[in-house]
A and B are shown apart, each in its own frame.
Chain A
Amino acid sequence: MIKGVWWKISALVLLLYAVMAGFFITVPGTMMGETIRTVFFHVGMWFAMFVLLFLSFIYSLRYLIGFEEKEDIVAVEAANTAVCFGMLGIVTGMIWAKNTWGAFWVRDPKLDGALAGLFIYLAYLILRASVDDVHKRAKISAVYNSFAFILWMSFVLIMPRTAGSSIHPGQEGVPLLSLDLSLNTRLVFYPAMAGWILLGIWIMNLRIRLNKIQRSTGR
């Protein structure tokens, strides 16, 4: 699917840079204090998840056009990897929340939306597991998946913004552009996000290839 080794090495370089620069830079004294550094890692989980879910969505649509098995394989493995990143995103967020808001979970549109979004994709995986016929499974889950992505975006990206009551950082204005980060922080943040996305795509790529090997050996 994706050839070459350069993008795997870039993922390593970008994340090594994030881990090092992420702790060496000085951060401005905001209400978040030193915990602003979490943004290089926790938010990376969501960036990777978003890109993987987007790929899953695109490949589900492609499956519905041509009904080719390989498109379905990409769709499911992208979703599988995305769920893994999503769980890490939730758990890392909970650690930060305990420290910042005093509880692991608070009633907040962003947090509840993220959890609901995760459930949407767990349902997708359960739906797949419950259909035995390969073609039927691919078709049904591709239809579900095309709705799932729209729902996920509204739960995680749109509704927390329109609700206007989220205390989660970065919920005002345009996503990304409105992030209240200093120049120093941005110089680590964007490369870190690119690194996490590449890492997610790499793991997805490994899963796709394993899936194909499994199918061609009859399991």
Chain B
Amino acid sequence: MEDNGKIFVVVAVLAVIMAGLFLYLFVIDRKISKLEKALKEKSLKEQE
């Protein structure tokens, strides 16, 4: 596999894709958390 010593290029590409996709998931996760918080505050206000 490391015949021409360039496999690290492929690995770097895959690692960046992996990290990028995970970063995206973290961002989505945070967005949903914010929505949940906003909804909670709204329902608390309605109860008052």
Contacts and interface: CB of A to CB of B under 8 A. Distances in A.
A203 B25 contact: yes
A72 to B, nearest CB: 19
A34 interface: yes
Interface residues of B, number: 20
A152 to B, nearest CB: 26
A8 B36 CA distance: 19
A19 B1 contact: no
Contacts of B15: 16, 19-20
Interface string B11-39: 10011001100100110110010011001
A206 B18 contact: no
Given A19-B11, A19-B14, A216-B39, A26 B1 contact: yes
A136 interface: no
A202 B16 CA distance: 20
Contact of B28 (A26, A34, A206, A213): A206
A209 B32 contact: yes
Interface in A7-48: 8, 11-12, 15-16, 19-20, 23-24, 26-27, 34
A1 to B, nearest CB: 12
A12 B32 contact: no
Contacts, number: 49
B28 A12 contact: no
Nearest to A205: B29
A217 interface: yes
B11 A20 contact: yes
A210 interface: yes
Nearest to A12: B22
Nearest to B29: A206
A210 B10 contact: no
A149 B22 CA distance: 29
Contacts of A19: 11, 14-15, 18
B39 A24 contact: no
Given A206-B28, A206-B29, A210-B32, A12 B7 contact: no
A210 B32 CA distance: 7
A24 B8 CA distance: 8
B18 A213 contact: no
Nearest to B13: A19
A23 B26 CA distance: 26
Interface of A: 8, 11-12, 15-16, 19-20, 23-24, 26-27, 34, 202-203, 206, 209-210, 213, 216-217
